[in-house]
Chain A
Amino acid sequence: MGALATAMVAAVRQRIADQGATNIKTDTTLYRFLSEGQRRLAEDLSDAALYPLAKIDSTVIQAAVAAYDLPADFLRENLVLYKGIRSRRWETVDEDALRRNAQLTPSETVPFHIIWGNQVRFPRIVPTQTGAETIEVWYYCIPPEISASQEPLLLVPYHNTIETFAVARCFEMWEDYDVAAIEQAHYLEECLLINSRYSGKVAFDGVPNDPRLEILAGGQ
């Protein structure tokens, strides 16, 4: 347990030439930077790239109870199911529309939900329960802190990017802001690359073709 996490610390230490821990005395700081980097990726990457963070929280409905706690590691939801039916996300500031507008009348077969106060709530529904019917929140989780005993949730192909983020933070800590900016630019470039694999409807694929001559000449 923790082999990947300790390898990430070693990689960062190597990149900042601090293998002997003479500048950063303990690994705690590095784990914090790495954890922040993993959390940043959870926000900087497109959803499809984040499938290791995908989770479902299932709760048995209680009769007449319309609000349910979100899971502790909730980052953002992808969809909410009420008794197996997709619920429509609604905004708190527009909640009155559910009362005024006949087109938007919530029911157990046309559910709406609002996320507020760390709960998912189904306004203007008085839930019934005939057995073990559930609500399901399909969500992306906040990845737990990386440590010597907690591996990163994101897969190994993402670790280099997380490490680059941590390296940038180290130089920032040492007030070497120019280098920190370079590393941060690398981080953003790597995010762009990853997202390019998932954005749009056209897959990142290709068939052989003639290269552009200016590229062969060394230009860009």
Chain B
Amino acid sequence: MAAGDITKAMRDRVRATLGEYSQQGVGDAEIYLHMNRAGYDVGWRLADAAIPEMTKRATGSMTSNQITLPSDFWRERVVYIGSALVMAKWWPISQLDALYGIQGSTSTVHVPSATEPYAYIWPAAESAAVKINVLGPAATATYELYYQIKPTDMSASVDPVYSTTTCDAIVMFTVARFREQAKNFPESERVFRQYREKCMVTNSRFAPGKRYEGAPG
């Protein structure tokens, strides 16, 4: 299977559902535009556990207690620090002075250290890039950053990063957008409800705190 064939198959499913088999009615570029917007919508909508292909781990050494955001960074999940892989606690910017030694704080309730690191996302200085700041460990300690990636745009030569089941949702979203474009708003809403329900069902398989298992009985 050549690169882009999965995308083209999705495109053709959209065409079939719309009854628009010709480029006369709908151009490929228009379909890909909606499909790519759908790729971001499902990324917000689905639980991370439902889209493992969108999660990634980056490793390296910090520079001055900072981690540069990867180019495909969408949003953070977890940062582990050092060879012992100690998890850093995300901390709100507005309460940084609750951490000992930070911004004049003398409170000892939360003391950043190599074994109790804290992290936040903010520029280090004026005109500096937004980075992940880790308080506590050595300035050049190693890290493992777990994060969600931005999807690569689909095209005739680029396949979706999403799994096949998520691609089904992307096709539904795209169809809803074309109904909207045709000003058939009731039908657009009906298809969008189906899309929303599919995402809900997918998420229901991954609700927090419960495992997909059972005891004999």
Least Cβ–Cβ distance between A144 and chain B, in angstroms: 15
Q: Does A27 contact B (CB under 8 A)?
A: no
Are B125 and A56 in contact (CB-based, < 8 A)? Answer: yes
Say which size band chain B's interface belongs to. 35 or more
Q: Residue B40 contacts which of A85, A109, A157 (CB distance < 8 angstroms)?
A: A157
Does B150 touch A at the CB level, under 8 Å? yes
Residues 115-136 of B, flagged 1 when their CB comes within 8 A of A and 0 if not, give 0000001111110101000000
Q: Provide the residues of chain A in CB contact with B212, threshold 8 Å.
A: 207-210
Partner of A14, one of B33, B43, B192: B33
How far apart are the CA atoms of A157 and B46 in the complex, in Å? 14
Name the residue of chain B whose CB is nearest to the CB of A193. B44
B41 at the binding interface (Cβ < 8 Å): yes
* Interchain CB contact (< 8 A) of A86 among B47, B104, B192, B209: B104
Q: Which of B16-24, B56-64, B161-169, B174-182 forms part of the interface with chain A? A: B174-182
Report how far A159 CA is from B200 CA in the complex, Å.
23
Q: Which of A7, A54, A218 contacts B121 (CB 8 A)?
A: A54
The residues of B that contact A54 with a CB separation of less than 8 Å are 93, 121-123, 130
Per-position 1/0 for B53-73, Cβ under 8 A of A: 000000000000000000000
Nearest CB in chain B: distance from A37 CB, A: 14
Q: How far is the CB of B137 from chain A (nearest CB, A)?
A: 21
The residue that A160 contacts in the complex, of B40, B49, B123, B203, with Cβ under 8 A, is B40
A56 touches B207 (CB 8 A): no
Nearest Cβ in chain A — how far from B130, in angstroms? 5
Interface size class for chain A? 35 or more
- In angstroms, Cα B34 to Cα A10, docked, is 11
A165 CB to closest chain B CB (Å) equals 14
CB distance from A77 to the nearest CB of B (A): 9
Within the complex, what minimum Cβ distance (angstroms) separates A89 from chain B?
A: 9
A11–B33 CB distance below 8 A: yes
A159 to B150, CA, bound (A): 12
Taking a contact as CB atoms under 8 Å apart, the answer to whether B181 and A15 are in contact is: yes
Measured between C-beta atoms, what is the minimum distance from A71 to chain B in Å? 9
Interface residues of B in 26-56 (CB under 8 A from A): 30, 33-34, 37, 40-41, 43-45, 47-50
Contacts of B205 in A (CB 8 A): 208-209, 211
Q: B97 in the interface, Cβ–Cβ < 8 Å?
A: yes
**Does A215 lie within 8 Å of B210, measured CB to CB?**
no
Q: A17, B208: Cβ atoms under 8 Å?
A: no
B43's partner among A157, A215, A218, A220 (CB-CB below 8 A) is: A157
With an 8 A cutoff between CB atoms, is A79 at the interface? yes
Contact A160 B37 (CB under 8 A): yes
Question: Which residue of the partner chain, among B124, B182, B183, B208, contacts A205 with CB atoms under 8 Å?
Answer: B208
Q: Which of A16, A109, A159, A207 has the most CB atoms of chain B within a 10 A radius of its CB?
A: A207
Question: Cα distance A155–B70 when bound, in Å?
Answer: 13
Distance, CA A41 to CA B130, complexed state (A): 19
Contact of A58 among B34, B48, B125, B210 (CB under 8 A): B125
Q: A109-B104, A179-B185, A193-B44 are in contact. List 12 more A-B contacts (CB 8 A).
A: A14-B34, A15-B181, A47-B92, A49-B75, A51-B121, A52-B130, A157-B40, A160-B41, A197-B44, A205-B48, A208-B205, A208-B206
A to B CB contacts below 8 Å, 9 in the list: A17-B183, A86-B105, A157-B44, A178-B185, A179-B185, A202-B208, A206-B47, A208-B205, A209-B204
Which B residues lie at the A interface, using CB under 8 A? 30, 33-34, 37, 40-41, 43-45, 47-50, 74-75, 77, 92-94, 96-97, 103-105, 121-126, 128, 130, 150, 177, 180-183, 185, 189, 192, 197, 200-201, 203-212, 214
